[in-house]
Structure formats: C-alpha cells, structure tokens
Amino acid sequence: MARKFLYVVAVCLVLFVAARLALTFWSDELTELTFVPSGEFETRPAKPEGDWDAPAMWVARPGLQNDPAQWLPEGASTAPVGSARAAIFFVHPTSYMEKAHWNAPLDDEDANNRAALFTQTMASAFTAAGDVWAPRYRQATIGAFFTARPEAQQALDLAYGDLESAFAVFLRENPEGPIVLVGHSQGALLLRRLLRDHVAGTPVAARVAAAYLPGWPVSLDHDLPKMGLPQCTSDNQAGCVLSWLSVADPADTSALTAGYLRQTGLDGQKLDGSPFLCTNPLIGAQDGAADARANTGTLVPDFAEKTGTLAPQVVPAACELDNFLHIGAPPKLELGDYVLPGNNYHVYDILLFWENLRADARKRLTAWLAAQDEAPEESAPKVKAVG
C-alpha cells in the first residue's frame, strides 16, 4: 500500500511540476531542451474505428470495470432515479510528459494512470447528466505546446485522427438522444476541431445539449463561428459552448496570452488579439460575476490518495476584460502545489466549480429535452454495456 502511495505521488509530481517549469520558461530554450522531443516526427498509420470497439481503448465507458468516471466525493449531488441521461464524450488533457516520442504510446503506464486520474476528477463532474465515454488516444506530448516546430502540429494531427475514430464509435453506440461534449486543455483544443469537422452543419449538432471546453481559448471571431454552436448566454440554454481559463489575482497572463496568439483559428487565420470566450461556471453564462456564495462545491483533490472533498462557498468567479476567469485572491484551500506561475489555476479549471458544473449539465440536458418536446425524465440514449 505504501509503495502504491509513493508511486501515485511521484507521477502526480512529475506532471504538475513539469507544467510549472514549462510555463515559467514559456519561451526559453530551456523549455525546448527539457520537454520538446529532439527527434523527427514518427509517422504512424491511422487507427481504424474498429479499434475503439475494444473496452481497453477507453478510459471510461458504460459497463467498464473500475471506471474512474464513476467516482464521487462525499456529498456530491445525484440525479433522481429514472432521470433522463445523456451520452458524454470526454477528452482528457495531456497526460504524457515524456520527450521520447511526439505522441504517447497507448501502453504508456504513467500516461494512462494520469489519464485515469484526470477522468476521475474532471469527467465525474458531469455524471449527474449521463454516462461518460472517455477514449484513449495517442495524445501529443506536453512538449508539442512549447515549440513552433512542424512536428508539433503533426503530433496534434495524429491525436486528432484517433479522436475522430473514437467519436465515430461513440456516435454509433449512441445513435440517438442528447450528447454532452467535454474536453480540457489538449482535450478542449482537439474538441474544437471535432466540432468544426463532425458536428457543425450535421444532424449531430441538434443532439448537443452542451459543449464544455475549459482550459483552451475559444476565439469568438475565428473559432466559434466554425463550431456550429453559439456561446452560452444563460444557464438554461441548450446546444451551446462554454469555455474559461481560471486565474487568481494578482494574475500574470502574459505567457498564456502569448501562447494563444501563436495559434491559428479554426478558420485558418491568425488570432491577432481576437477576444476569446469566457463563461462563468457559477452563473452558466458568458461574462458576468458571482461571489463565493454561488459556488456550491469546489473539489479539493487529494492526488496522492486519489480522492477529494467538496468545499462550498469558497471560490468566486468573474469574467474580466482580459477574457480570463478571475477567482479573486488565491483560495484558502489545500489544493496542493500545482498552481502554475502567474496564479494560473489551469489544472483546476473544472475542480474549482465541480458541483456547479454537475447542476449546469443537468439544467442544459433538461433544456434540451424540453426543446425536443420530450418528458425530461423519460428519455435516455441506449448504450451497449461492455465487460
């Protein structure tokens, strides 16, 4: 037991300390030396959709044994028995920290353990609205985000191809009924593209109860118009997009802004200072502010023990003119040592508002069902259980 405890501590420290260092030296040569693979991109064949028929290709899905998304902290809200359920497609953030490859091998034990931990603490926030499907994918290594080398985009393209195949299986297994899309960080970056290519202008768009993309900027001018869904402007709106980047005050967002401006929008254009979407999870709407009384539960994680507790009415939130979600002074919670430079709470984008997001997803599911003129507690997408 002690050995397992030390192992979990070690892998978590590698992940978060590496991220802290990378952001500290965002543009320095040290970042590239430390995190960016020195070798050329390894061309790998696309994986067929059928690969995702195997339960082993999913971090979480209905019927999977030891599904991390099924974890709940004490006091978490639950949907009433017999409630409507959505199918939730969750794309986990970067969990591969090595520079040996541009893309994570699917059998990398450390990356897979971290992906399970992310799914446990993040995807679980949405399970009051439905069942989580979280695919494994050959994610780009963290170093791909600290270089302008063409291999970085090739790595993201390979990761995206895996998600396309997994999403096709997800849709095949859930051919009707509401769906919820969730991605964080690299997951949100790739999910933007998936919305453009496989949701916008298709029948799938009408099935989306909500799309949550925290941890990666969504340009209002260059991304959102291509994604086929509007931004959420109220908490009872269905079929819309939510996105935010969390910082505490005083915040130094210069490195984050510089990284954002290096990217290209979904329309292929440079972002050039385009404002990005800021949704306040405490009110479920674009922009706006709410004090800590509106926060029904921040998930305070214990990464070592792989558990956590809920702390209500501690963290406020306000979308400021810089498009970041400001949470006031650093919260007086034992969140660990994983706040990134500049008071960047990237790691905690979902955890800060965990219980509010459970309620938000339920409200948007109810709004979607009402728009379909269906009884909210009698509709559920069919899924096939797996062992």
Long-range CB pairs of 25-33 (<8 Å, 24+ gap) are 26/146, 26/255, 26/258, 26/259, 27/255, 27/258, 31/146, 32/143, 32/146, 32/147
| pLDDT reading at 72 higher than 90 | yes
Residue range 182-186: mean pLDDT, rounded: 97
pLDDT given for residue 375 in this prediction: 45
Measured distance CA(54)–CA(59) in Å, rounded = 11
Q: H or E segment at 131?
A: strand 130-135
pLDDT given for residue 349 in this prediction: 98
Which residues partner with 270 through β-bridges?
264
Per-residue pLDDT tens digits for 330-368: 999 999 878 988 999 999 999 999 999 999 999 999 999
Query: Residue 352 carries which DSSP code?
Result: G
Amino acid at 111: A
Q: Is the backbone of residue 126 left (phi > 0), alpha (psi -120 to 50) or beta? A: alpha
pLDDT given for residue 374 in this prediction: 53
| pLDDT reading at 272 higher than 50 | yes
pLDDT given for residue 168 in this prediction: 98
pTM of the predicted model as reported, rounded to 2 decimal places: 0.89
Per-residue pLDDT tens digits for 282-325: 999 998 999 999 999 999 999 888 899 999 999 999 999 999 99
Measured distance CA(382)–CA(361) in Å, rounded = 19
pLDDT given for residue 12 in this prediction: 47
Q: Give residue 31's pLDDT band: very low, low, confident or very high (50, 70, 90).
A: low
Q: Give residue 1's pLDDT band: very low, low, confident or very high (50, 70, 90).
A: very low
Amino acid at 303: F
Q: What is the DSSP string of 242-279?
A: E---EE-SS---HHHHHHHHTSB-TTSSB-TT--B--E
Q: How far is CA 127 from CA 76, 243, 378, in A?
A: 11, 19, 17
- How many whole angstroms from its chain centre is CA 377? 27
